[in-house]
Each structure stands twice: as structure tokens, then as C-alpha cells.
Amino acid sequence: MDSFQRRNNDDKDDVRPFSLMMGELMKCSALATVKCLDRVVVMYDSDATVIDNQPLLLFLENQLLSSMEDDSDDDDALEVKIKLYFIRLEIYQKNYFSQIVKPMMYSQEANKQIVFMYIKGDWDKLGCGFKMVGLKLSSLMADQSQKKPEIFELNNGTMQVKVTNLGCTITSLSLPDKNGKLSDVVLGFDSVEPYLNRVAPYFGAIVGRVANRIKDGKFTLNGVDYSLPINRPPNSLHGGHKGFDIVVWEVAEYKDCEKPSITFKYHSHDGEEGYPGDLSVTATYTLTSSMTMRLDMEAVAENKATPVSLAQHTYWNLAGHNSGNILDQSVQIWGSHVTPVDQNIVPTGEIMPVKGTPFDFTAAKKVGASIHEVGLGYDHNYVLDCGEEKAGLKHAAKVKDPSSSRVLDLWTNAPGMQFYTANYVNGVVGKGGAVYGKHSGLCLETQGFPNAINQPNFPSVVIQPGEKYEHTMLFEFSIE
């Protein structure tokens, strides 16, 4: 075949000789060549019959290779490189290079670069024609990755945990009561669809890049001002519109053994939801003993300083997810201070003693004992400053349900913990048709202090390039 066609809604069929196109390409400089190639991509996009002449395809490939070898920071060179990446993958995806391009050309490293440059999205530089190609590319690459939300099970014969790679979300955790009867003690849903549709945001998920609220969705780091999505006006909450809770993580390892475990990993790119720098994140759930689950969260900043504070946002009800409210369950928190909040639930910067206030849980007391004195309910960060330590972790909280005698002891290495009593949950239809209402569960979200990026007197949540963020939670269940 010695020609190719262009078809669209505005023009009649236009057949251009292959020799003419080759002539145009060979006479052009690198940047002008890309402008020529723009027209080729448009022809591909218009669902035309496409040329399969080896000379042109080899020419495109040579252009790509030379651009990859050029490390110039020149804007024109970058533009050429990005556009050639797009063209390369657009053609590859449609199998036009299937006979002449070896699989090694499409390395994971190259794809990572492509994703990074695509998301960065300097469309004013690239032109709207490539915006269309870029959007298609994103979708195609997602398809290629074959990552889809699934539910995985960890089971050691006593405790059964179900978790999905969508947000590393715990969808259920079943364990025995004083009579040996198993109950699921996690609020949630029977399938992944309600999580995808955010029927009840953050249920059971790991939230980030920064958990909790950032005031006005703004912060300054190393002299650069950053603006984040205002997804809970007037603040940014739990990482923005598309935080870590709603992305599909890769399953890096899944072990079904004496200590079952599953490890998820996710690459958060520079500029994602407004945050600086590329970040590699892993989360591992392990059943370390018959009634104990451990969560290890790690993140490494690759190229820029960035705030990182992950939190596990499960709603617990030790009487059973469908048993009603948690007001009669007792809670003890090893925190003698809280960080008071303003009218928008953002810490004021003060660190306040809890003694003599409704926030005092230094001795065990029922959740409902003083809840009427704190507005809608508890939604406050506790300074974990008075718990005993073991194996590098400090005692954060203890919850006990009187009806089942189930107990949860939580240990962590995080400086704070958000104690939240499901104040905004209202009529959520969950597993087995159970209806979750206000105070139907409680959250124990160990974390960096909320809005710490804007409060110099709070422990820093910033990690530098090459540094590792490490956050562990140990959930010890028992019967008392």
C-alpha cells in the first residue's frame, strides 16, 4: 500500500501519496518534523486506513530514539520528546509497530516517564491536538496495566480479613466473641462498586497523600506555594478529589501461609492532587498471630520534598457492623492533650490538656458519656504522649464492647490519632442491607497532626528526597 487516507466529519476523503509525506519529513528539522507528525496522528485518530510502509515507521522510530538520547532541557527538545512519546505509544497501541518494534522498546521505565510527562500536562506547549491524544493514551495505558479493583482474603483460621486493592480498603474483619461466635466488626459493603462510587467516602481505606485537613488547601514548602483541591470547603481533606483511597493499587505480594499477608504499592506522581514530587508508597497487611493484624505503611520521596501523612480510616464496631451505635462501648486513649479546632475542624495550633474536659479518655469511659458536650461528636486529634511502648510502638487506644467482650488494643509509631465517631454517617446501606447511622462506628486514625504543614509547632510531616516515611499500626484483638 503506497498511500494513506484521512477521514473526518468535515473533509472529504483525502488521499496523500506516501512519497510526498516522506519528502516532507526528510526535509524538516526536528521540531518541524513533529509538526508534520501531528498531522499523521490526526490521520490515525480519524479512524482512517493507515499506512503500514516500513520506511515511514522506521523513520518515526529513529526520531524517537534520537529524542530519547537527547538530555537537553531546551523547551523545544522537551516538546519534541513528549510528542514523540505520544506518537510512539499511539501507533504501538493500534499495533502498527507490531512487526518492527521489539517488546524491549516499551520498558516500564519509559512508560513511567510517559505517564509523568502526560500528567504534567503542559498543553499550552503541546497543543490541544495532543491533549486529545494524551487523554486517549492515559486510558489505553490504564487498560494495559490490567489493574482492577478486587477483594482479597487473609485468613489464619481465627480471624478473617477482606481487603481490596482499591484504596487498600479493609472491607470486613471477622473475629469471635466471648461465645466463639464470629462477627464482622467493620462497616462497609459487599462489593467494590459502592467504594468506587463513594457511597460512603473513606470507609476502611488508607487516605493520603496527606490525611485530614489542610487549611484553605494551601501550603508553602521550600519557598514554593502549593494549592490543593478544596474537596471539603473551605479545606482540602484526605488528599483531595482523588486521594489514595480511590485509586487502584498494585498487588506487589500476596502470601497465604501461617502469617498471611498482602502488600500493595502505588506510585503518586509529581503534581497529583497538587502535591509536589513523585512518591512511591507501599502498604502491607499481615496477620501476625491468631488475633493480631499489623499494617505497615511506607513512602519514599523520589525527587522533591513533600508532606506525607497516611491514615487508615476503618469504621470499627466491636459488637458487629450491623449492631447499631457504639455509644456504650468504652474507649481509653493514651493522649493527655488534643489539638483544638476552629469552626472548620482545622487545628488552631494550640495543644490543650484534656484533663477536666469531655475529651479526657485517659481512663476508660463510654463513648456516649460526654459526647453531647462536644457538638456533633468527637472528631479530634489526640497527642499520643502517655502510652507504654513495646517493640518501638506506643499504646494509642483501647476499645471494649460490653456485649461481645471483644477488645481492640491499638499500637502505633505515629504522633497523633484522630478519634472520630461517625458524626456524618446517615442512612448508609451497607453489607447485607445493614443501615449505618450516626455514631454507628468509630475511627482510630493514627496520623501526623492535621494541617501540620502550616503549623511550625506541630511535628513535621515533610520528607526530603530519598527519605522514607514509616507508619505502623498494630491491631491486637482479644476477649475480656
- In the chain, helix, strand, coil percent, each to 5? 25, 30, 40
**294-314 residues labelled b (16+ CB within 10 A) or e (exposed):** bbbbbbbbbebebbbbbbbbb
Q: Which of 238, 298, 445, 471 is catalytic?
A: 445
Distance of alpha carbon 294 from alpha carbon 350, whole angstroms: 32
Cell numbers for 248, please give them.
487502584
Amino acid 75 reads D
ω into residue 340 within 30 of 0, thus cis?
A: no
Closest among 390, 430, 381 to 413, alpha carbons compared:
390
Q: Which of 238, 313, 380, 471 is catalytic?
A: 313
Is 109 in the active site? no
Which DSSP symbol is given to 8? -
Helix (H, G, I), strand (E, B) or coil at 445: strand
Distance of alpha carbon 131 from alpha carbon 157, whole angstroms: 52
Closest among 260, 236, 311 to 472, alpha carbons compared:
311
Is 445 in the active site? yes
Closest among 427, 335, 330 to 380, alpha carbons compared:
335
Distance of alpha carbon 313 from alpha carbon 206, whole angstroms: 6
Closest among 275, 219, 146 to 453, alpha carbons compared:
219
Q: Are 164 and 190 in contact (CB under 8 A)?
A: no
| Alpha-carbon distances, residue 334 vs 121, 125, 331, 360, 480 (angstroms) | 46, 54, 10, 10, 19
Distance of alpha carbon 288 from alpha carbon 259, whole angstroms: 5
Indicate which residues carry an active-site annotation.
Answer: 313, 445
